[in-house]
């Protein structure tokens, strides 16, 4: 009998289509209808209290496993009947299981359910109402927490990962909650210059929703969540800085038709004589120019929409052209009323042209900021497309005025050039400002660069190395201009402006200019919300926060484990946090001594629709992860064990992982499992949530049967829990202390 068996094994190892294989060397199962002592349960099957369906407490499903005493295992019950609203009578427990593996066709395997540890909160550590609020024991239920993984600390206390918060829960060895649930900090890990939160710059205010450069536009930007508002500045005949994108406020063609306008000046016959042609940065422009109007004259005009075909004319004729001083007053008013410190991001337009017209707008800007007392360097960035004026500000104007504000060198498209260069006969274009040496030179006078966004994400939608190189020079990067309208979006975003913003944030930009700051603030807010919260988070029910959920339901700490040295918990989310790259899951470290959370890295699912089921250590830097598709039975295709490194990363920054075992293709040459066919065992349960390393070559794996679910072994067959002892082809590099001692 032995000889044919060896041949069959060899044959299977040759034919199975996977890189790393495992062999079933032990098997046991627990019938679905296994109950433990406790109150009747299942009364909330429809969300409303009905008749209990079960006389006691279902023992399954299981969502986590650790070694128990006496050679037994501890299995963590999942949250009950699958949802918060149907699990209020399911008690959260750790069951002690004695497992006997069937290791040969003649052997008998089995599972004996022993005692349990009841999770409870008699000391009222949970700061919100729980199901059993008024009872002295305050037993915790599946409507209070959705417990998905656990670890045993060196002091014997239990740490449990929850999905509703998600929270870390700390229990005594006998299940008493020791402290308030620990919320999950939002460690977005964006690669900004100094790890700071990116800023949203309201480009010309909220120019996508109101006529640009009006107080209404700036107010809308602030209400939408802009951190900074951007006034482009030109100057009136009497030397007052006002907000317009260009000195020309209406461009008129040879036939007398207005081809672009930001003010209704053409409707004012009293100013007809001001129509003129000027050379603006070397180009003839015919129209009406702000520097030909006094402020009083300008006040008689009203703003109009610059892009009416795209944005309509609903607000035309309603708003005046504001001065810089009025914009500062608006910002101050917001601060006085709300405490919010919005910043200003002024751009002096066409400095060379303005100088020729007799105005040093850099000097005017500093004078105005000083006069208005708005010189906090944390609330001002001064930007320019030219270079000489920025150098002058840094070297002369600001030192003489006793102010020191951060400057930003704007970098336009490669076919354009800083006009101060052109004016002095220098033929170089903006590309000359993007070399490593040029970026280092910019850093001698500026704090950041404001590139045309194609320098950061090219026409093919590929992220370039621009941000990395600018950061290497010590420069902030604030690209422009992000707009919601499809004509401004690359096809790869499929009309989704948030996708473009997210890509820029992943690239590490320190902020961005957008015509739609409300959209920008929403996207940035996903990364900067203080906590990761699922829709079921009790924080919402308790009114603790008004911020939106940023994690999908059932996306919490499915994976929780302890480092072999006992110092660190590792907690892996099951779903992608909003704003993160789809299919990438945050892996957190929680230092048990300092209570400090850090982001270890991101686990990359093989498919964004997959989920993880468990996390368990191999050694200090390598952990096993269960990864599965969202299907069961015949539809199931993907149930695998991977080894993930906490220290080695892929080029995209995700953690390196290698396949350890394909649970859909396990060799079972002895036919130990009833489901084995042709020497191949597959494990097509929807959720597989238990894995632990027994020794360097052997894993114990078990499914979560989601009691009373069906489908894993047939549409009408109640899912049981199956326990697999898997021998790996290649042994793991096990650390001391890992595995059954």
Residues binding ligand G3P: number (CB under 6 A): 11
Nearer to ligand G3P, 453 or 628 (CB): 453
Q: Are 482 and 513 in contact (CB under 8 A)?
A: yes
Nearest alpha carbon to residue 374 among 353, 350, 403: 403
- Please spell the DSSP secondary structure of 370-418, one letter per residue: HHTT---TTSB-EEES-SHHHHHIIIIIHHHHT----EEEEE--TT---
Please tell me what DSSP assigns to residue 81.
S
We find the least distance from the C-beta atom of residue 198 to ligand G3P, in angstroms, to be: 16
Binding status of residue 232 toward Ca ion by CB under 5 A? yes
We find the least distance from the C-beta atom of residue 535 to ligand G3P, in angstroms, to be: 37
Residues from 436 through 455 that contact ligand G3P (CB under 6 A): 450
We find the least distance from the C-beta atom of residue 201 to ligand G3P, in angstroms, to be: 8
Task: State CA 540 to chain mean position distance.
Answer: 19
Near Ca ion by CB under 5 A, which window of 209-217, 226-234, 432-440, 694-702? 226-234
Of Ca ion, ligand G3P, none, which one does residue 450 interact with (CB within 5 to 8 Å by kind)? ligand G3P
307 contacts: CB under 8 Å, gap ≥ 6: none
Nearest alpha carbon to residue 595 among 246, 183, 13, 26: 183
Nearer to ligand G3P, 231 or 669 (CB): 231
Near Ca ion by CB under 5 A, which window of 7-15, 100-108, 233-241, 341-349? 341-349
Residues from 371 through 390 that contact ligand G3P (CB under 6 A): 383
We find the least distance from the C-beta atom of residue 245 to ligand G3P, in angstroms, to be: 6
Per-residue contact string for residues 216-255; x = within reach of ligand G3P by CB under 6 A: --------------x-x------------x----------
Cis status, amide bond into 494, omega within 30 of 0: no
We find the least distance from the C-beta atom of residue 296 to Ca ion, in angstroms, to be: 26
Binding status of residue 642 toward ligand G3P by CB under 6 A? no
At 207 the three-state DSSP class reads: coil
We find the least distance from the C-beta atom of residue 203 to Ca ion, in angstroms, to be: 7
Binding status of residue 347 toward ligand G3P by CB under 6 A? yes
Nearer to ligand G3P, 449 or 611 (CB): 449
Residues from 622 through 641 that contact ligand G3P (CB under 6 A): none
Nearer to ligand G3P, 221 or 539 (CB): 221
Nearer to Ca ion, 348 or 534 (CB): 348
We find the least distance from the C-beta atom of residue 232 to Ca ion, in angstroms, to be: 4
Q: Which of 116, 288, 513, 723 binds ligand G3P (CB under 6 A)?
A: 513
Nearer to Ca ion, 217 or 554 (CB): 217
Cα 703 from Cα 102, distance rounded (Å): 17
b/e per residue 291-312 (b: at least 16 CB within 10 A)? bbbebebbeebbbbbbeeeebe
Residues binding Ca ion: number (CB under 5 A): 2
Helices (H), 65-144: none
Q: Which sign does the torsion angle of CA 647, 663, 92, 71 carry?
A: negative
Nearer to ligand G3P, 232 or 297 (CB): 232
CA distances from 493 to 436, 477, 564 (A): 30, 22, 43
At 151 the three-state DSSP class reads: strand
We find the least distance from the C-beta atom of residue 234 to ligand G3P, in angstroms, to be: 11
Residues from 495 through 554 that contact Ca ion (CB under 5 A): none
Q: Which of 144, 292, 347, 689 binds Ca ion (CB under 5 A)?
A: 347
Strands 57-58 and 597-604 turn out to be unpaired
- Please spell the DSSP secondary structure of 252-272, one letter per residue: E-TTS-EEEESB-GGG-GGGG
**Backbone phi, then psi, for 359, in 5-degree steps?**
-125, 130
Cα 467 from Cα 479, distance rounded (Å): 10
Near Ca ion by CB under 5 A, which window of 231-239, 253-261, 677-685, 728-736? 231-239
Q: Which of 293, 455, 480, 516 binds ligand G3P (CB under 6 A)?
A: 480
Cα 353 from Cα 226, distance rounded (Å): 30
Binding status of residue 481 toward ligand G3P by CB under 6 A? yes
Cα 319 from Cα 215, distance rounded (Å): 8
Cis status, amide bond into 397, omega within 30 of 0: no
Binding status of residue 297 toward Ca ion by CB under 5 A? no
Nearer to Ca ion, 111 or 342 (CB): 342
Cα 421 from Cα 405, distance rounded (Å): 24
Of ligand G3P, Ca ion, none, which one does residue 597 interact with (CB within 5 to 8 Å by kind)? none
Per-residue contact string for residues 13-52; x = within reach of Ca ion by CB under 5 A: ----------------------------------------
Binding status of residue 654 toward ligand G3P by CB under 6 A? no
Burial class (CB in 10 A: 0-12, 13-18, 19+), 40: middle
Of Ca ion, ligand G3P, none, which one does residue 481 interact with (CB within 5 to 8 Å by kind)? ligand G3P
Binding status of residue 212 toward Ca ion by CB under 5 A? no
Cα three-residue angle 359-365-369, rounded to 5 degrees: 150
Cα 526 from Cα 503, distance rounded (Å): 13
Strand partners, 120: 139, 176
Q: Which of 65, 243, 249, 410 binds ligand G3P (CB under 6 A)?
A: 410
**Which residues in this chain contact ligand G3P in the complex, by CB under 6 A?**
203, 230, 232, 245, 347, 383, 410, 450, 480-481, 513
**Which residues in this chain contact Ca ion in the complex, by CB under 5 A?**
232, 347
């Amino acid at each position: 009998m032995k000889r044919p068996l060896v041949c069959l094994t060899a044959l299977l190892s040759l034919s199975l289509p996977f890189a790393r294989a495992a062999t079933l060397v032990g098997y046991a199962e627990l019938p679905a209808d296994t109950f433990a002592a406790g109150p009747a349960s299942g009364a909330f099957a429809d969300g409303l209290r009905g008749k209990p369906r079960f006389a006691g407490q279902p023992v399954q499903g299981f969502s986590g496993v650790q070694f128990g005493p006496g050679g037994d295992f501890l299995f963590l019950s999942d949250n009950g009947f699958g949802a918060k609203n149907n699990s209020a009578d399911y008690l959260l427990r750790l069951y002690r299981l004695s497992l006997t593996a069937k290791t040969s066709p003649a052997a008998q395997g089995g599972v004996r359910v022993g005692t349990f540890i009841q999770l409870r909160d008699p000391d009222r550590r949970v700061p919100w109402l729980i199901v059993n609020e008024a009872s002295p024991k305050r037993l915790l239920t599946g409507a209070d927490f959705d417990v998905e993984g656990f670890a045993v600390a060196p002091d014997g206390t239990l740490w449990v990962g929850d999905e509703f918060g998600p929270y870390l829960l700390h229990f005594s060895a006998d299940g008493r909650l020791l402290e308030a649930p620990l919320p999950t900090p939002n460690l977005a890990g964006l690669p900004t210059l100094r790890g700071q939160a990116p800023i949203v710059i309201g480009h010309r205010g909220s120019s996508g929703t109101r006529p640009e450069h009006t107080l209404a536009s700036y107010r809308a930007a602030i209400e939408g969540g802009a951190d900074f508002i951007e006034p482009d500045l030109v100057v009136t005949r009497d030397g007052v800085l006002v907000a317009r994108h260009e000195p020309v406020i209406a461009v008129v063609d040879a036939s007398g038709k207005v081809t672009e306008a930001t003010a209704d000046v053409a409707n004012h016959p009293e100013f007809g004589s001001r129509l003129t042609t000027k050379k603006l940065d070397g180009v003839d422009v015919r129209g009406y120019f702000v520097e030909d109007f006094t402020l009083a004259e300008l006040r008689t005009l009203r703003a109009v929409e610059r892009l009416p075909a795209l944005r309509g004319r609903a607000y035309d004729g309603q708003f005046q052209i504001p001065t810089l001083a009025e914009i500062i007053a608006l910002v101050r008013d917001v601060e006085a009323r709300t405490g919010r410190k919005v910043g200003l991001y002024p751009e002096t337009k066409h400095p060379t042209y303005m100088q020729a017209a007799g105005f040093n707008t850099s000097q005017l800007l500093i004078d105005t900021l000083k006069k208005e007392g708005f010189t906090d360097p944390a609330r001002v960035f001064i930007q320019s497309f030219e270079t000489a004026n920025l150098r002058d500000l840094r070297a002369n104007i600001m030192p003489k005025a006793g102010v020191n504000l951060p400057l930003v060198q704007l970098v336009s498209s490669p076919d354009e050039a800083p006009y101060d260069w052109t004016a002095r006969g220098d033929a170089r274009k903006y590309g000359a400002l993007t070399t490593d040496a040029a970026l280092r030179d910019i850093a001698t006078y500026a704090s950041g660069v404001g590139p045309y966004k194609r320098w950061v994400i090219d026409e093919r939608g590929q992220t370039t190395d621009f941000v990395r190189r600018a950061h290497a020079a010590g420069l902030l990067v604030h690209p422009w201009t992000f707009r919601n309208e499809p004509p401004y979006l690359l096809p790869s975003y499929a009309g989704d402006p948030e996708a473009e913003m997210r890509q820029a944030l992943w690239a590490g930009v320190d902020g961005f200019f957008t015509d739609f700051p409300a959209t920008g603030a929403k996207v940035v807010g996903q990364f900067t919300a203080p906590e990761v919260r699922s829709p079921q988070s009790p924080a919402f029910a308790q009114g603790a926060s008004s911020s939106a959920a940023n994690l999908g339901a059932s996306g919490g700490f499915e994976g929780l484990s302890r480092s072999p040295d006992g110092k660190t918990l590792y907690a892996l989310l099951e779903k992608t946090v909003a704003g993160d790259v789809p299919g990438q899951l945050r892996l957190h470290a929680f230092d048990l001594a300092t209570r400090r959370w850090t982001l270890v890295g991101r686990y990359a699912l093989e498919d964004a629709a997959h989920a993880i089921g468990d996390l368990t250590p191999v050694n200090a830097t390598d952990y096993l992860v269960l990864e599965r598709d969202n299907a069961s039975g015949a539809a199931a295709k993907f149930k695998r064990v991977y080894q993930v490194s906490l220290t080695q990363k892929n080029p995209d920054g995700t953690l390196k992982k290698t396949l350890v075992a394909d649970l859909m293709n396990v060799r079972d040459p002895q036919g130990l499992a009833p489901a084995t066919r042709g020497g191949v065992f597959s494990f097509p349960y929807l959720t597989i949530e238990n894995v632990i390393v027994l020794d360097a070559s052997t894993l114990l794996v078990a499914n979560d049967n989601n009691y009373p679910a069906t489908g894993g072994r047939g549409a009408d067959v109640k899912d049981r829990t199956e326990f697999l002892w898997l021998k790996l082809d290649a042994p793991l590099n096990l650390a001391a202390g890992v595995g059954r001692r």
